[in-house]
Every structure is written in structure tokens, then in C-alpha cells.
Chains A and B, each alone.
Chain A
């Protein structure tokens, strides 16, 4: 009898608990599409990233690579110093677009490995020279069969910024072919993003496949790459402290500092959601505010400013600064490390995010 009573009490208690829960939950739901404010924010954040950053950038990237092809053809027709300079300026414009897009190497884009095709560095000059020295016909189809370290933005930099005689026919053919390949890849990237966008903006889950987690991981990956590859290698982290300026990204064009500045700007926009003057600009800072961590959010903003200040304290090119005042570049790397810790350790801890793409079997 006692057993039955206990059972009944339990069932009644359980039924009441479920009813109350459903009632409260329904009462609190203001939006029928999303089960919570967090979900609403997540969707708004991801849409903001795609609509106001990735989409316009992919379009701009295709347009500018198209211009690049025209300029490459012009230079091939008239290999003058002025045309080379115009081509070099266009290369820089493309870098500035790509260095914003590079952050979003995630989901289907990462799986397609297209970012390697677009810009793999360091480039392999030996391979490029071998191709130029060969008898093979150099055109877009031929270049498509070659490895990513012989083409892309980085390969083009070698072709138009190294002090080799660019006006030779086969070298000119290579420049046009690489430009065309880049245009093709830019179009493919836009297409992959267009297909992936609906999944990206609606993957609101908190697991490793959730888009917000993927974006945080992409931020972490890029900051680590800046610290390890884009600054650390040149500062001699791996060789006992010997400066190696030729390990800087885009050292031939002396564009390394601008690349890091663009990365930093892209990271900051991604964090704040401040891509365009739209009314609902949701970023990670809004999430932190939503869960009551405004002070921490401000800490990240301050760290972004510190990184910018350290970068602005470098008056000349990164190449010159590393050679002459490496302490300024070390200070920039230190600031980037602090930013990394705030995002990878603190923000992930506060948001309960899954940092690094790992998956295992529980706890």
C-alpha cells in the first residue's frame, strides 16, 4: 500500500512538474520561430555575418579578380612599368578583400579546401620557375592542374613583385593564367558560400557543428596563425631567435603589415558584428551582454584596441620593422596572444563553447 502511495505521489509530482514547465516555457516564448532569445540572437548574428560581410566580400572578390584578369591581359599586351604598377595595386586590392574573407574558412568552405587554391603561402618559387622554364603551354587549364603553392594570390605576388624580368612571354602567360585561375576560384567560392549560407545561418545548435562555434574556432585559428606563422616564424620562434623576414607573408610586396591590419579589422568586426549600418548588428559582444558579461566584453574591446595600437606603432613595413626594431613586432605578437587568450580561453569558457574541432565521447 505504501509503495502504491509513494508511486502515486511521484507520478502526480512528475505530471505537475511537466505541466508547469510547459506552461512557463510557453509563456516566455515571444517568438514562434525561435525557442529563446539566445536562438534569435544567434540567427541574427549569423545572418549579419553572411549578409553584411561574407556575401558582399565574395561578390567584391569576384569583381576584383575579374578586373585583375583584364589588367593582367593589358600588361601582357603592353609590359610597361606603369601597367605592372597598376597590376600590383590591383593585387593589393584583392589581398585586402581576401584577408577579410580568409577568416571564414569554415563548414563547406573548409571542406572544399578552396582557400588553399586561392592563397597558399609560402609559395614555391622553384616550382613556378620550373614551369616557366618548361615547354608546356601555359594557360588557365594548365595552371588548374598545378599545385596550390604554384598559383593563387601568393604565387601571383612572386610573379609580379619579385625582381625577375616579368616581361618575358612565358612569365606573362603565367601571370594571365594565374589571374584567370584566381577569378575562377573566386566565382567558385561565391557559389559554395551561396549554397552553404542557408545551413550556416540556421545551424544554431551548440555542438561542434553549430555555426557560432565554428566562427569562434575560425577566429581562434586565424589569431593563432597570425601569432605562429605571420609573426612568430619571421621573429625566429622556430630557429632560436634569428630574424627571417622572408618568412613573412607577402614580404616581396612589403604588404605584411597591411595583411595583419586587415585580419585584425575582420576579427574585430566579427566580434562586434559592426559590418554595416544595419539596425540589428549582433556580434559576440551582444551575447556576452545578454548573459551579463558586459565588463568582459569591454575587456576584449580594449584588447582589440591594444592590438591596433601596437600595429600602428609600427611606422614602416613589417619587414623593415622586424629587421630594425623587432621589439615593436614582439609587442604586437604579445598583444595578439592576449587577445587569443581572451577569446580562446575566457570567452569560450563564459559561452560554454566547444573550442577546437574535436569530438569525443563525453566526460
Chain B
């Protein structure tokens, strides 16, 4: 009982709203930019409109795109709601709208899965429940009495926890022989970037790849705790900036570094902000006030615990599903495997009409966009999904008895290409997507 009381006392201790508000502002404006960038780069067409077939997520097969105009509207609404989050305007409505629209957009197409998109959905979900608009926002100007300087500690710590999960499991994901013992795929990537200013010529040496591999692992495993600890926080945040700027310059990693740099701001406390801003001759009022009473207090602790347990178990599930998650990809999504492999593949499908014995060869490029084709070539569940799609396409009236086989070759982290899925297995005999993982050929060294 004492333990629960202590936990409650810890979680509900009033702390300054400032870090939460800064996080909200940074997150909102960054995601607004990200969604506008998505439109500007033509990705709405590439991702939602152009494909004639979508790789949906398991249990979310019912999620489909709308017309071109509607999809542009949804992405635009997503950007506007993110902007409103940044402003702290219609906050609750904006966070709900952003979470629903962003998550919907991500669920449409699996080949566009990115770890940081998942991170954004999680944070958006959390923000719905957090009073991040109670100060430094527009909402309190219209709603008297809602302004407060203090919020319960859990509202800040849950975001810190989310950041810890990303970094720590990102580090755990690197504890693999390829990464630590062979410095792969960094050997490949760095050798391709010897044009990098000043230090580029060092990338030719294998030792540099090892240095990057090991220091990257150490960084991921340690940085959340260094950020959480007051004494090491200044150095930790400098490291956050250096690390992410370097990864941004070296790799095609999009918005991820900026999200992590912005997200890590949650660790900086109000007093640290005050000290920093004072150096810039800016004074902020941190006068404590009593946080608004929370009616669902009794539910919060178990809900936080449930969320925490899910966040810890989901990234670990691949250990129960596969011996080598990089090769099988079974459980790799939602597990923070960020930039840990160089993987390329090739697939070609053979359709046999078992009644007429006619054979058809299908090349994925005839049906899929380049990103879809590339991602499917080394992800078994997508190969299975594509076979189901081909079955529907070639058997419109359901009268044919088809068999579909895949010829697939995959190269992982510089290894020679090798057969990926058993080419003798009729993919239509596999009634569930999970069955295909039983037919992945063993990875040869």
C-alpha cells in the first residue's frame, strides 16, 4: 500500500508546466512542417494515390485511402491541427484530430512505415491526455481559470519515458553481431559517404565504422539516463544535438533527428530554462500554483502502468518470434530498429492455374510503386499480402484453382544475396500472414 502511495505521490507531485509547454510547441510546429513537407514532396500521390494496391497492417485491413482531393485535405488538416497544437489553440480537439488523422495516414500503407511516424502517433495519443495548453498557449486566454503554472509530474514524465523507450530500445536493437562484431551496415554506409566534409576521408577505414557502431550503441543506451540526470543533462543535450546533426548530414533519415532533438527538450527543467533564458535577458514567471484537480486520479496510475508495460513488451516481442529479426523481420516494426541494416531484395512471382496448368510470371514493378516493390522484396508479410492480391486479381470469379510461388533473393548487410522464402511453398496455402515466417530460408553467413 505504501508503495502505491509513494508512486502516487511521485506521479502527482506538482512540477512546472514549462517543459511540457515547450515540448508541445516544438512538437506541434515541427509536425506541421513535416506534413507540409509531405505534401510539397509529392508524397501524398506517391503514398496514397498512385498505388493500385495497399499493404495494410494486420487487423487494419479495413483502412483505405479516399479520393485524391480528400487525401490532400486530410494531410492538410493534419498539418493545421499540428499547427494548432503548437499554438495551444483548441488544444484538445486539435490533438484528437491530429492523432486520428496522422495515425490513419500511417495505417494506409505499410511500405511507408517509419519508426518516427510510430513515435509521432504515440506522442500525439499521449498529448490528448496532457494539459500541455494550460500555459504559453492561446486557449487559456479564452478560458478563464484554466491557466496554471504547475502540472502533475506524470504529465511530463510520461513523455520522458517515451523518449527513453525510443533511445533505449534503439540501443538494444544494436546489440547484434552484425552491428557490433562486423560494424555493419555502417561499413557500407560510411564508405559511401567519404565525400563528407572534413572527416569523410576517415570513413574509408574500417575502424571508423567500428567506432561509430560502438559509440552509437553506447549513445542510445546511455543518453536517456544522462538526460534524466540533472548533473549530466547539459552535456547529454549537447551530445543529442551533435549526434542527430551528424546522422542528419550522413544519412537519408528525414525528420527523425529533428524530432528527437525537439523531443529531448522535455528533459530540460523549468529552472534550467529560466537560467538559460536569463542569460539571454529573458525573464519568465515560474511562480508555483496549484494544479487543476484531476477527477480520474484513481485511474491514472493503472493506465500509466498499462501503457508502460505495452511500451516495454512490444519492442521485445521479436525475441519470442524470431532468432534473427533483421533477417525475418518478424516483430521488427514498433521495436525501434532504427538504421540498423542495409537490406535489398528481388522478387518474382509465378502463378500456376492448376486446372489448365498455365503459368504466368508476375514482376512486382508491374503492380507496385518503387517504394512498395523495394520494401516488399525483403518483408515476408508483404510478400504474403501481395500473393493474396495476385490471387484476387487473377481469380476474379473465384472459379480458378491457383498456386502462387515466389522467387525471392535478399542481401543483408553486405552478404551475398540468397534465397529468402522457400520457393516451393504455395503462398496461397498459407492461410494466415504469420505462417510465412515458417518458410524463411536460414540466413547463410
Do chains A and B interact in one complex? yes
Confirm or deny: A342 has a beta carbon within 8 angstroms of a beta carbon on chain B. yes
B373/A356 in contact, CB under 8 A:
yes
A25/B114 in contact, CB under 8 A:
no
B191/A6 in contact, CB under 8 A:
no
Confirm or deny: B234 has a beta carbon within 8 angstroms of a beta carbon on chain A. yes
Expressed in whole angstroms, the minimum distance between the Cβ of B400 and any Cβ of chain A is 11
* B229-263 contacts to A (CB < 8 Å): 231-232, 234-235, 238, 251-256
Confirm or deny: A7 has a beta carbon within 8 angstroms of a beta carbon on chain B. yes
Q: Count how many chain A residues have C-beta atoms less than 8 Å from C-beta atoms of the other chain.
A: 56
| Interchain CA distance A36-B204 in the complex, whole Å | 9
| Interchain CA distance A359-B346 in the complex, whole Å | 19
B191/A291 in contact, CB under 8 A:
yes
B346: which A residues are within 8 A, CB to CB?
Answer: 340-341, 344-345
Q: A6-B235, A21-B198 are in contact. Are A361 and B344 (CB under 8 A)?
A: no
B194: which A residues are within 8 A, CB to CB?
Answer: 35-39
Q: A3-B231, A227-B363 are in contact. Are A345 and B371 (CB under 8 A)?
A: no
Contact of B193 (CB < 8 Å), options: A206, A238, A350, A358: A206
B116: which A residues are within 8 A, CB to CB?
Answer: 361-362
Confirm or deny: A57 has a beta carbon within 8 angstroms of a beta carbon on chain B. no
Expressed in whole angstroms, the minimum distance between the Cβ of A306 and any Cβ of chain B is 16
Q: A232-B361, A355-B344 are in contact. Are A363 and B253 (CB under 8 A)?
A: yes
Confirm or deny: B338 has a beta carbon within 8 angstroms of a beta carbon on chain A. yes
* B346-398 contacts to A (CB < 8 Å): 346, 348, 353, 356, 358-361, 363, 365-366, 369-371, 373-374
B339/A363 in contact, CB under 8 A:
yes
B231/A237 in contact, CB under 8 A:
no
B358: which A residues are within 8 A, CB to CB?
Answer: 240-241
A348: which B residues are within 8 A, CB to CB?
Answer: 344
Confirm or deny: A357 has a beta carbon within 8 angstroms of a beta carbon on chain B. yes
B83-91, B269-277, B305-313, B407-415 - the one binding chain A:
B407-415
| Interchain CA distance A7-B46 in the complex, whole Å | 47
* B303-361 contacts to A (CB < 8 Å): 338-339, 342-346, 348, 353, 356, 358-361
**Cβ-closest chain A residue relative to B230:** A3
B366: which A residues are within 8 A, CB to CB?
Answer: 228
Expressed in whole angstroms, the minimum distance between the Cβ of A336 and any Cβ of chain B is 12
Confirm or deny: A346 has a beta carbon within 8 angstroms of a beta carbon on chain B. yes
**Cβ-closest chain B residue relative to A238:** B360
Q: Most B CB atoms within 10 A — which of A21, A24, A360?
A: A360
Confirm or deny: A108 has a beta carbon within 8 angstroms of a beta carbon on chain B. no
Confirm or deny: A317 has a beta carbon within 8 angstroms of a beta carbon on chain B. no
| Interchain CA distance A24-B197 in the complex, whole Å | 13
A362/B231 in contact, CB under 8 A:
no
Confirm or deny: A337 has a beta carbon within 8 angstroms of a beta carbon on chain B. yes
| Interchain CA distance A349-B185 in the complex, whole Å | 9
* A12-38 contacts to B (CB < 8 Å): 21-22, 24-25, 28-29, 34-38
A359: which B residues are within 8 A, CB to CB?
Answer: 41, 252
Confirm or deny: B202 has a beta carbon within 8 angstroms of a beta carbon on chain A. yes
* A71-97 contacts to B (CB < 8 Å): none
| Interchain CA distance A358-B51 in the complex, whole Å | 14
**Cβ-closest chain A residue relative to B363:** A228
Q: A204-B195, A349-B188 are in contact. Are A362 and B204 (CB under 8 A)?
A: no
Contact of B344 (CB < 8 Å), options: A207, A291, A344: A344
Confirm or deny: B425 has a beta carbon within 8 angstroms of a beta carbon on chain A. no
B256: which A residues are within 8 A, CB to CB?
Answer: 361-363
Q: A21-B202, A341-B346 are in contact. Are A7 and B374 (CB under 8 A)?
A: no
| Interchain CA distance A348-B413 in the complex, whole Å | 11
B414/A349 in contact, CB under 8 A:
yes
B117: which A residues are within 8 A, CB to CB?
Answer: 361
Expressed in whole angstroms, the minimum distance between the Cβ of B204 and any Cβ of chain A is 7
B373: which A residues are within 8 A, CB to CB?
Answer: 356
Expressed in whole angstroms, the minimum distance between the Cβ of A302 and any Cβ of chain B is 13
Confirm or deny: A353 has a beta carbon within 8 angstroms of a beta carbon on chain B. yes
B195/A36 in contact, CB under 8 A:
yes
A354: which B residues are within 8 A, CB to CB?
Answer: 252
Confirm or deny: A315 has a beta carbon within 8 angstroms of a beta carbon on chain B. no
Contact of B371 (CB < 8 Å), options: A3, A7, A358: A358
B374/A206 in contact, CB under 8 A:
no
| Interchain CA distance A205-B203 in the complex, whole Å | 15
Confirm or deny: A351 has a beta carbon within 8 angstroms of a beta carbon on chain B. yes
| Interchain CA distance A11-B271 in the complex, whole Å | 23
B359/A240 in contact, CB under 8 A:
yes
List the 8 closest A-B pairs by CB distance, nearest first. Answer: A240-B358, A362-B254, A361-B254, A36-B194, A352-B192, A356-B370, A237-B361, A349-B411
- Could you name 17 residue pairs across A and B whose Cβ atoms are closer than 8 Å? A3-B231, A6-B235, A21-B202, A24-B202, A25-B201, A38-B204, A204-B195, A205-B195, A239-B360, A241-B358, A344-B346, A346-B417, A356-B373, A358-B371, A360-B371, A361-B254, A363-B339
Question: With A206-B192, A337-B348, A349-B344 given, can you name 17 additional A-B contacts, CB distance below 8 Å?
Answer: A35-B194, A35-B201, A38-B204, A238-B361, A240-B356, A340-B346, A341-B346, A341-B417, A344-B344, A345-B344, A346-B344, A346-B411, A360-B114, A360-B254, A361-B38, A361-B117, A363-B339
